[in-house]
């Protein structure tokens, strides 16, 4: 029976002690997962942040994430950093034109804008486009450690 693959968009945060360790390579080799780099930022000698799309069998993905955490990488699921306030949203559709991943999409049957946070890469475009300030998010560089 073919195994089902799933994908997760995650934010990996490396502190200065571990930021040059090849832990992603090791996770890929150990658990046979695939990854796609969506965004990378480095604050030299302070912190590194990577947004990755991980793909693989669900159990293997969980094992890979646990492995990264054991190696002291802070792993956050990107979907948990963004919210739509349905009390504010008027389903105008302005956000769907700027959302490149399809996380915000118009359901033509109900004419409502659907939101799938699992597809979000936290680009921030919808927040700028929304006239109702319905989208809120914690950007990926929020809370960067600045201690030297
Ligand atoms: S732009 Fe704002 S108000 Fe319009 S559909 Fe998107 S989230 Fe809702
Ligand atoms: S932050 Fe970017 S990817 Fe996420 S829902 Fe908004 S526009 Fe789409």
Please write the tens of the pLDDT for every residue from 110-126: 999 999 999 999 999 99
Share of the chain above pLDDT 90, in %: 80
| 97 Cα to the center of ligand 1, angstroms | 10
Q: Where in the chain is the domain with CATH 3.30.70.20?
A: 85-137
Burial class (CB in 10 A: 0-12, 13-18, 19+), 2: exposed
User: Which tokens hold the place of 117?
Assistant: 């946070």
> Nearest CA to 66 among 115, 10, 121?
10
- What per-residue confidence (pLDDT) applies to 147? 42
Digit-by-digit pLDDT tens for the chain (148 residues) are: 557 899 999 999 999 899 888 999 999 999 999 999 999 998 888 899 999 999 999 999 999 999 999 999 999 999 999 999 999 999 999 999 999 999 999 999 999 999 999 999 999 999 999 999 999 998 887 776 544 3
- What per-residue confidence (pLDDT) applies to 89? 98
Query: Architecture of 85-137 per CATH?
Result: 2-Layer Sandwich (3.30)
Burial class (CB in 10 A: 0-12, 13-18, 19+), 18: middle
Q: Where in the chain is the domain with CATH 3.30.70.260?
A: 5-79
Nearest CA to ligand 2 atom 3: 120
- What per-residue confidence (pLDDT) applies to 145? 55
> Would the CB of 132 count as within 6 Å of ligand 1?
yes
CATH class of the domain whose range is 5-79:
alpha beta
104 CA closest ligand 1 atom index:
6
């Amino acid at each position: 029976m073919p195994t089902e693959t799933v994908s997760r968009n995650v934010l990996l945060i490396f502190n200065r002690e571990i930021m040059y360790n090849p832990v992603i390579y090791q996770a890929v080799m150990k658990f046979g997962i695939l990854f796609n780099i969506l965004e990378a930022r480095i604050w030299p000698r302070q912190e590194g942040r990577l947004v990755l799309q991980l793909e693989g069998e669900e159990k293997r993905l969980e094992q890979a994430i646990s492995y990264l955490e054991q190696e002291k990488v802070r792993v956050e699921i990107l979907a948990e950093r963004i919210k739509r306030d349905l009390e504010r949203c008027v389903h105008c559709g302005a956000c769907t034109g700027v959302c490149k991943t399809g996380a915000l999409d118009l359901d033509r049957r109900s004419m409502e804008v659907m939101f799938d946070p699992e597809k979000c890469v936290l680009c921030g475009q919808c927040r700028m486009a929304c006239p109702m300030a319905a989208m809120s998010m914690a950007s990926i560089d929020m809370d960067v450690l600045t201690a030297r």
